[in-house]
Amino acid sequence: MGQTQTIRKEETTANEPVNIGDRAIDNLRFIRETMERSTVFTSVPGYGGILMGATALVAAYIANTQATIRNWLIVWLTEAVLAFSIGLLAMWQKTKLSKTSLLSNPARKLLMNSLPPMLCGIFITLGLWRFGHFEMMVPVWIICYGAAVVCGGAFSVRAVPAMGWFFIALGALAFFLPVGYGNTMMGLSFGVTQMVFGLIIGRKFGG
C-alpha cells in the first residue's frame, strides 16, 4: 500500500505542468546577461583600484615634501606609470578569471573612448609646462582623468562613470582652492575616491 502511494506521488509530481512564466523569466535573464557581456566591459579593476588609490596617497605624501617643481612632477609621473601598470595587470587578471579578453569589443570601445580626454590632459600639461603655469596642472589632471573615466565608463558598469563624475567635481573644486591644496586634492581624488569606488566595484563585480 505504501509503495502504491509513493508511485502515485511520483506520477503526480512528474505530471505537474512546468511553470512557463518562471522559465521565460530565466530565459530573459540569460539573454540579458549574455547581451551585457557582449556590450559592457565588466573587468574594470576593483581591488586593483584600491591598490592604485593607496599608491596615490603615498605619492601625495611624498610630493608634498618636494622642494622643486621638477621633483614634484617626477613623483606624480612615476605614480601615473605605477597606477597604470597596476590597473592593467588587475584588468588582465580579472579578464582571465572571467574568461574574457582585453581585446574584446567592449574593452576596445572603453579604451578608444577614454583616449581623447587622456590625450587632451597630456597636451594641456605640456602647454602648462611650457608657459610655467604649474599651478593649473592638478585640476587639469583630475578633470581630464574624470572625463576619460566617464567616456570609457559608458561601456562599463555604472559605478565607473559615477566615479568619473566625482573626479570632475573634485577637479572643478581644485581650480578655486589655493595652490597649496594641490597634493591634498590629488590624494583625495586619485587616492580616496579611487579606493572607495574600487571597493564598490570589487564587491559588486567580483574583484
Inside any domain, residue 151: yes
Rounded to an integer, what distance in angstroms lies between the CA atom of residue 77 and that of residue 69? 12
Inside any domain, residue 67: yes
The pTM for the full model equals 0.78
Inside any domain, residue 16: no
Quote the pLDDT of residue 24. Answer: 63
Output the nine-digit C-alpha cell for 64: 608634498
Inside any domain, residue 14: no
Output the nine-digit C-alpha cell for 13: 509530481
Mark the ranges of the chain whose per-residue pLDDT is less than 50: 2, 4, 6-14
Inside any domain, residue 32: no
Output the nine-digit C-alpha cell for 140: 587639469
Output the nine-digit C-alpha cell for 174: 581644485
Tens-place pLDDT, residues 60-85: 999 999 999 999 999 999 999 999 99
Query: What domain count does the chain have?
Result: 1
Residue 89 belongs to domain spanning: 43-201
Output the nine-digit C-alpha cell for 123: 597636451
**Three-class DSSP category at 156:** strand
Contact 104, 41 (CB under 8 A): yes
